[in-house]
Chains A and B, each alone.
Chain A
Amino acid sequence: MTAKAIADKRTLVEYLEAKARRLRWDIIKMVGLARSGHPGGSLSAADIVTTLFFHEMKHKPENKNWPDRDRFVLSKGHAAPVLYAALAESGYFPREDLWTLRKIDSHLQGHPDMRKTPGVEISTGSLGMGFSTAVGMALGLRLDGRNSRVYTLIGDGESQEGIIWEAAMFAAQHKLDNLVGILDYNNMQIDGLVSEIVDIQPVVAKWPAFGWHVIEINGHKVEQILDALDEARSIKGKPTMIVANTIKGKCVSFMERVVDFHGKAPTDEEVDKALAEIEALGPLG
């Protein structure tokens, strides 16, 4: 069953929620095996990435270079585990590959590498740059007259980078309505709370001030994500930024809102506990 075939919204939401649990399970498992990586921001983005890959975006894992596909750019590249989980679940590569994350000879690098991993649209990891490349992609696709859309996930700490706002102005200037940004707003960065380090507030006002359409949602409510993506599709003449309020480490009790799990792997014991918690939430998709 694919998400596209589900007519009933409630069934679709349940389907996507189960997929998101699968992605979260895989994230914990792979980061645990890698003994390093970024679980917190991968878990906060899981519902958004799931909804994009398993409902919103048109893409063909069996023909990854299909020119008319929609593009996803993980600008917050450290959340690579959530992207890899989504790519494996979509069928871009075997799921067992996930357990090689960050190992020498693995195609799954610590941060996404377009030349190594099937389905990665562009190499990211240095913050701010992925967002800017997504603007370039949207421009290129429009030049070619394709109706492909570009989705890019940015972080809140990442929003402190100047290039984000350079790219924001360019995208608005050129009315790139085939571009959708999603801000994974968990209010946590490596050194602490975004609001206490260099606050990005009032971020819901900043994006319209930069010429973007803005939608604020709860980034863990699949229904709200679906509605926001629908709304973005209807907006013409400007790009859309979805400000998704999220919780770092979402769905693992001892990781939720814990800054340390930004870039720290769980221990073997913590992995077992986390996987059990995720399984207890419902079936895995």
Chain B
Amino acid sequence: MSEKRATREAYGEALVELGHEYPNIVVLEADLAKSTTTIKFKKEFPERFFDCGVAEQNMMAMAAGLATTGKVCYTGSFAIFATGRAFEQVRNTISYPKLNVKICPTHAGITVGPDGASHQTVEDIALMRVIPGMMVIVPADFYEAKKAIKVAVEVEGPVFIRLGRAAVPTIFDDSYNFVPGKAVRLREGQDVSILATGIMVGAGLKSAEDLGRQGISAEVVNVSTIKPLDEETILSSVEKTGKVVVAEEHSIIGGLGSAVAELLCEKHPVPVARVGIKDQFGRSGEPAELLKHYGLTSEDISQAARQLTAY
């Protein structure tokens, strides 16, 4: 049994390490410091931590103002509020002027669990991806999340990093080297490319093992940076396999599935199956139950791969 950790846990830890290294880092929170784990930064650097209360729009616009004075702002909250309620602040005050604000919300996707649909974003990747110049990162596990949060400080301009609430199996370790904009081939295969992001990377690896036993050789690529998309790595995999399953804990509209389909339609048309949430809202339940209900298990990926390879 491998270690299980939520990607949100990486947020507080990474912020504390960044806080020691960079005196100009400021963290803004919207009344969720315990849930998002920014409380760790608050304890270490109270003078650079500001709780904005339940006011996400003001938090985002203030982050932009702080950035004009040379601060690097990390802003949190839950993904639904950071990308939904405060969308236009992110668009107009942060992204349009290309300010140095890192948007790292937690509780993305349906694995929020029992809180239900009001708190489960299935649209956040789409919302952030469509903003000109926004970098969009969806880490696969705790270790990738921590590296991404730390590397983001060196990226000039806005970065969105999607974090989750549920503890999920780790894939990497402390030695993992995250490079923004670079997709990573985790497993070589010949018959089908599984392009996965976020917690679906683990499911993709499991699926590839299962498929291997069934005589299907699946390649697994971790597409943690959804924008800018690593076209080279994706195309080199797809040119070899000729078939693609995309897997994400997000709506099949507007997320990685869309990004990959857009790329392949233009550059290398091949059959694509999208494993994701099929234009629905979430519901209450335990994360594992929800992943099963919405068709986001390794078996769902395997089934999609089998259908594609049966052509």
Contact = CB atoms under 8 A, between A and B. Distances in A.
Contacts of A163: 55, 57-58, 61, 89
B65 A166 contact: no
Contacts of B58: 132, 135, 163, 166-167, 170
Contacts of B50: 139, 174
B96 A136 contact: no
> Interface range on chain B: under 10, 10 to 19, 20 to 34, or 35 or more?
20 to 34
Given A133-B61, A133-B64, A137-B65, A143 B26 contact: yes
A30 B13 CA distance: 53
A170 B55 CA distance: 9
A211 B92 CA distance: 28
A80 interface: no
B68 A129 contact: no
Nearest to A138: B65
Interface string B61-84: 111111111110000000000000
A123 B69 contact: no
A129 B66 contact: no
> Interface range on chain A: under 10, 10 to 19, 20 to 34, or 35 or more?
20 to 34
Contact of A133 (B26, B48, B62, B88): B62
A133 B55 contact: no
Interface in A109-128: 113-115, 121-123, 125-126, 128
Contact of A140 (B52, B57, B61, B68): B68
A96 interface: no
A139 B71 CA distance: 10
Contacts of A137: 65-66, 68-69
Interface in A52-78: 67, 71, 73
Interface string B94-126: 001110000000000000000000000000000
Contacts of A73: 65
A256 B146 CA distance: 58
Nearest to B88: A126
A162 B86 CA distance: 12
Contacts of B68: 71, 114, 121-122, 133, 136-137, 140
26 contacts: A67-B70, A113-B96, A113-B97, A114-B97, A115-B97, A115-B98, A121-B68, A122-B68, A123-B93, A132-B57, A132-B58, A132-B89, A135-B62, A136-B63, A136-B65, A136-B67, A136-B69, A137-B65, A139-B62, A143-B47, A144-B70, A163-B55, A166-B53, A166-B55, A167-B58, A170-B52
Given A71-B68, A167-B62, 15 more contacts: A114-B68, A115-B98, A121-B68, A123-B93, A126-B92, A129-B57, A132-B62, A133-B61, A133-B62, A135-B62, A143-B47, A143-B71, A170-B55, A170-B58, A170-B62
Interface of B: 26, 47-48, 50, 52-53, 55, 57-58, 61-71, 88-89, 92-93, 96-98
